[in-house]
Amino acid sequence: MSATETHRAIDAVWRIESARLIAGLVRIVGDVGLAEELAQDALVIALEKWPESGVPNNPGAWLMATAKHRAIDLIRRYKRLETKLAELGHDLEAEQEAAPDLDDAIDDEIGDDLLRLVFTCCHPILSTEARVALTLRVLGGLTTPEIARAYLVPEPTVAQRIVRAKRTLAEAHVPFEVPRGPELAARLASVLEVVYLIFNEGYSATAGDDLMRPTLCEEALRLGRILAELAPNEPEVHGLVALMEIQASRARARVGPTGEPILLPDQDRSRWDQLLIRRGLAALARAEALGGGAGSYALQAAIAAGHARARTAAETDWPRIAALYEALGRLMPSPVVELNRAVAVGMAFGPAAGLQLVEALRSEPQLSAYHLLPTVRADFLAKLGRLGEAREEFEHAASLTRNTRERTLLLERAAACAR
């Protein structure tokens, strides 16, 4: 294997193993920032040794063993945690005498460790932006420049968020654990929120020149699938995975040859990824079997499934989708949910019925700068033949969005009304 191929292999290994590696190290040293430094040290050693020795059969276990040695050296050097050092030294000697299989070394308690790390990175003590950045950095394995590019923010901003997040967790002595009892539900909601925020930014970029950022969608899906394996009895986890799988299935059909957006009714459904749809429907069935069919993510997944099951746009069961949005609105009242319900009502019972619901939302402060409100209103006005008003609304929507592709589409629709 050439040096270039080895470095590519190391990069791939890091993406796959870094989260599990850091999780195992946090259990040892009790600090997310220090654990990441130790993991990075192990990576540097791999970059030095693997081009000559070759990639080990179990690279993740090799990295873990190397990082553990670094942890012991660090503890000894600073003469801290003497009791922990004695325990680690004794365990290390026992491991060396027994010559264990490195597969066992990497897998020991790793599932529990990874779940603990998920809850730590998504702790509510951190701001939403910090939770997202730390999750992508530690669990997703993305570099600071990659996160900055994905969110179109300066690298120093992302770096500061990550550093402050680690410092906040350390200073607050946040325990490295999976919460129990009533606290679990609240903390799990925070975890799912972070994963879905990452997915949504990838699926519909809020700014920039691209409609989608596939890297973020892929990372969110990967995190969701890991979470479903680690918390198999939590229905909302499966509901979120179902929602992301089904939405991601449309990715290839959402963008045209030059990057232009293609609206749902106009998409070529033969390009929808049937494997992702099947996986999503299976996850939804799992959520429902666990009694979570009425959860917020499961309800949204059921809405997405309604689109996925329709062979054509005309076959969509819009009355059922409108009913699902109504149920979602009762569970989590939100002007955005109500706007989506208005779209479904308009498709099911005519544009006048949809417009009536939209008009009631125009005074909502939360939607004052939300470009989809005038977009939906413009669409209903156009269908009712009120083209002058529709043109003004499309132009207003275009002025609100920060995404170049969406702005172009909205201005094109405004021009079509003028014609």
What pLDDT, in 10s, does the model give residues 52-66?
A: 888 888 888 899 999
Higher-scoring residue by pLDDT: 244, 110: 244
What is the per-residue pLDDT for 10?
81
Distances (CA, A) of 351 to 289, 290, 315, 321: 36, 37, 18, 16
Encode pLDDT of 113-172 as tens digits.
888 888 899 899 999 999 999 988 888 777 888 888 777 789 999 999 999 999 999 999
In a domain, 205, yes or no: no
Question: Does the CA dihedral 291-179-19-159 come out positive or negative?
Answer: positive
Weakest-pLDDT range from 70-74, 359-363, 375-379, 396-400: 70-74
Determine the average pLDDT of the residues in 266-287. 96
The SS3 call for residue 403 is strand
What is the per-residue pLDDT for 111?
55
Instruction: Give the count of alpha carbons within 13 A of 58, CB side only.
Output: 13
Q: Which helix (H) or strand (E) holds 402?
A: strand 402-403
Phi, psi of 255 (to 5 degrees): -130, 135
In a domain, 274, yes or no: yes
- Alpha-helical runs (H) found in 136-181: 144-151, 155-171
In a domain, 183, yes or no: no
Residue type, position 182, single letter? P
In a domain, 377, yes or no: no
Burial 254-283 (b: 16+ CB within 10 A, else e): bbeeeeebbeeeebebeebbeebbebbbeb
Number of C-beta neighbours around residue 222 at 10 A? 17
Contacts of 284 (CB under 8 A, 6+ apart): 238, 239, 242, 246, 298, 301, 302, 305
The two structure tokens encoding residue 43: 């990576």
pLDDT at position 393 over 90: yes
- pLDDT tier for residue 92 given thresholds of 50, 70 and 90: low
Determine the average pLDDT of the residues in 368-384. 96
Encode pLDDT of 306-358 as tens digits.
999 999 999 999 999 999 999 999 999 999 999 999 999 999 999 999 999 99
What is the per-residue pLDDT for 12?
80
Question: Does the CA dihedral 297-291-280-268 come out positive or negative?
Answer: negative
In a domain, 24, yes or no: yes
What is the per-residue pLDDT for 86?
59
Q: Is 142 left (phi over 0), alpha (psi -120 to 50) or beta?
A: beta
Residue type, position 273, single letter? D
User: Please, are residues 320 and 343 in contact by the beta-carbon 8 Å criterion?
Assistant: no
CA distance 107 to 23: 11
Model pTM score: 0.77
Q: Which helix (H) or strand (E) holds 27?
A: helix 3-29
> In angstroms, how far is CA 150 from the centroid of its own chain?
12
What is the per-residue pLDDT for 98?
40
Number of structural domains (the chain) is 2
In a domain, 372, yes or no: no
Determine the average pLDDT of the residues in 280-292. 96
Encode pLDDT of 178-205 as tens digits.
888 778 877 888 899 999 988 988 888 7
The SS3 call for residue 207 is strand
CA distance 283 to 183: 25
pLDDT at position 94 over 70: no
The two structure tokens encoding residue 252: 């290839």
Choose one of 94, 109, 124: the last residue of a domain. Answer: 109
Residue 221's closest CA among 205, 234, 240, 206? Answer: 240
Which DSSP letter does residue 208 get?
E
CA distance 324 to 343: 12
In a domain, 293, yes or no: yes
Choose one of 314, 346, 378: the last residue of a domain. Answer: 314
What is the per-residue pLDDT for 91?
57
Residue whose pair of structure tokens reads 């994905």 in the numeric block:
150
CA distance 167 to 71: 19
The SS3 call for residue 82 is helix
What is the per-residue pLDDT for 197?
87
CA distance 242 to 225: 10
Q: What is the CA radius of gyration of the chain?
A: 25
In the chain, the percentage of residues whose pLDDT exceeds 90 is: 52
Number of C-beta neighbours around residue 362 at 10 A? 11
What is the per-residue pLDDT for 102?
34
Determine the average pLDDT of the residues in 20-47. 89
Contacts of 359 (CB under 8 A, 6+ apart): 377
User: Please, are residues 392 and 410 in contact by the beta-carbon 8 Å criterion?
Assistant: no
CA angle 236–135–302, rounded 5-degree value: 25
Residue-wise DSSP of 282-340: HHHHHHHHTT-TTSHHHHHHHHHHHHHH-SSGGG--HHHHHHHHHHHHHHS--HHHHHH
Choose one of 314, 329, 347: the last residue of a domain. Answer: 314
In a domain, 410, yes or no: no
Determine the average pLDDT of the residues in 252-262. 89
pLDDT at position 23 over 80: yes
Residue 136's closest CA among 211, 194, 178? Answer: 194
What domain range is 30 assigned to? 3-109
pLDDT at position 105 over 70: no
